Structure formats: structure tokens, C-alpha cells
Structure 1
Amino acid sequence: MDEVRVLVVDDQEPFRRAMVTVVEATDGFVVVGTAASGEESLAAVGEVRPQLVLMDVHLPGIDGVEATRRLTHDGGGPVVVLLSTYDEDEFDLDGSGAAAYIAKAAFGPDRLLEVWERHADEVA
């Protein structure tokens, strides 16, 4: 199996580093880029061609929800997972285009694998 190409998007360096660490510690996944804003994420997707984007909800400029809508609008793009500090039952995915939402406190290799296994077939 080829490694799953992941883009990590978070405006806070500590969270970005933590997500990169989780991805790198998960067999079969590789970080191909990072971004600190919604605008950077849109440009990075075109450059690094990730299969999976881990996207913070709260970003400067275009927030993570709007960036996700833009990335998934036409279909055939990467699978996008939204992350934030909110509990999972406090976030509504409807209309966001995201495949899943994971609270940052619950994010780890097991959740990464679980989400990918459910949504890998959505990547063009």
C-alpha cells in the first residue's frame, strides 16, 4: 500500500507540530506539507496533492470550514477532516464538505486510521 499523503493545516504552531507527530507515528501516512491559514491550505493542496487534509476549524482569513467547502465543492479532491478544541457532539458537519470532525483532544493514530478507512474510497 502506498503511503497516504497528508496536509496539516493549523494556525497554531504547537497544534500543527502535534498533528504532524501523530501522522508521522501512524504507519502508512506521510506529511507532505503544512499550512497556517485557509488561503495557504488552498494553495498547498494544488502544490502537494494530498489525499487527506487535517484542517483546523478556526483559522485567520478563510476559516477551516470555508476552506473545506472550497476544497470539496467539485468532488474529486482530498478527504478533509476538521479539527478543533470543541467536543465532537458540539460540531455540526452539515454543509461543510468535511468527511469527519475530531476534537483535538481525541486525535491520535487510532482516530486517523479509523477516519481514513471509512473515507479512503472518496479520493479521486
Structure 2
Amino acid sequence: MTVVSVLIVDDQAPFLRAMSAVIEETFGFEAVGKASSGEEAIVKAGALLPDLVLMDVNLPGIDGLEATRRLRAHRSPPVVLLLSTYDEDAGARFIAECGAAAYVTKSAFGPDRLREAWAAATD
């Protein structure tokens, strides 16, 4: 089985820890790096070449939507899953704005949602 490499992007340490814990609990996924800004996410994604980026919407500097647009412009872009505290209804707008594969609220994010989003993005 191929392991899905994941870059976690959030500017708040509690959410970085929570997302890391979800990845650790989810068979077949491995965290390969963390970033705390949109700019850092772009640099780390270029160096680490993750399969999946968990991207917070609200970040210092360039926000998660702009960082996602820039990542999606790469020749072999990673799948980007947006996360935020905004309700589910905001997700469709966010996805339309930046080309992310999916949106999940931080409160609903867990192993099942991670697997579902990955499967839907890669089918």
C-alpha cells in the first residue's frame, strides 16, 4: 500500500497538533511536514512534494485560498483539503475560489473525513 504524504498548514499550534493526531490515527497517511503561513506552505510543498496538503483558510500573510491557488498552479500539484472553523456552507465558495478538492470544518475533521476526502479527490 502506498502511504499518502501530508503537509499540515495552520498558524495555531492546537490545530496543528489536532491535525497531526488525526493523521497518526489514519492508516495509510503520514505527516511529512508542518507550516504556519501560506508562504511557508508553498516553500515546504515545493521541497517535500506532499500528496495532500491540509490547508487552514485563515493564515497570516497570504491566506489559505491564495496559497492553494499557487499550489494548484504547479505542474504536479498536491491535493488540497481546506479546513476552517467556518460552517460547511462556506466550503463551496472557498473551493470555487481556489480549486481545492474539498472543505471540512475543523470540528468535523477526523480519520473518516480524511479518508473520504482523499478518496473523492483521487477517484
Q: How does 1:1-124 map to 2 (within 5 A)?
A: 1-74=1-74, 76-91=76-91, 92=93, 93-120=95-122
Q: Retained in 1: the 8 A contact 2:65–2:97?
A: no
The amino acid that maps onto 1:63 is: D
- What SS class does the counterpart of residue 23 from structure 2 fall into? helix
Gaps of 5+ in 1: none
TM, length-normalised to structure 2: 0.94
Q: Retained in 2: the 8 A contact 1:5–1:52?
A: yes
CA distance, structure 2, for counterparts of residue 94 and residue 75 of structure 1: 20
The amino acid that maps onto 2:6 is: V
- What SS class does the counterpart of residue 95 from structure 1 fall into? helix
Deviation at 1:46, TM superposition (A): 1.1
The amino acid that maps onto 1:62 is: I
Q: Retained in 2: the 8 A contact 1:4–1:51?
A: yes
Gaps of 5+ in 2: none
- What SS class does the counterpart of residue 114 from structure 1 fall into? helix
The amino acid that maps onto 2:84 is: S
CA distance, structure 1, for counterparts of residue 39 and residue 74 of structure 2: 18
- Displaced runs of 4 or more, over 4 A: none
TM, length-normalised to structure 1: 0.94
Deviation at 1:75, TM superposition (A): 5.0
More helix, by proportion: 2
Could you give the per-residue CA deviations for residues 41-95 of structure 1, whole angstroms, max 9, x where no partner exists? 0000011110000000000001000000000024521000110001111231213
Q: Retained in 2: the 8 A contact 1:73–1:97?
A: no
Q: Retained in 2: the 8 A contact 1:65–1:96?
A: yes
* Residues 94-103 or 29-38, more deviating: 94-103
The amino acid that maps onto 2:29 is: F
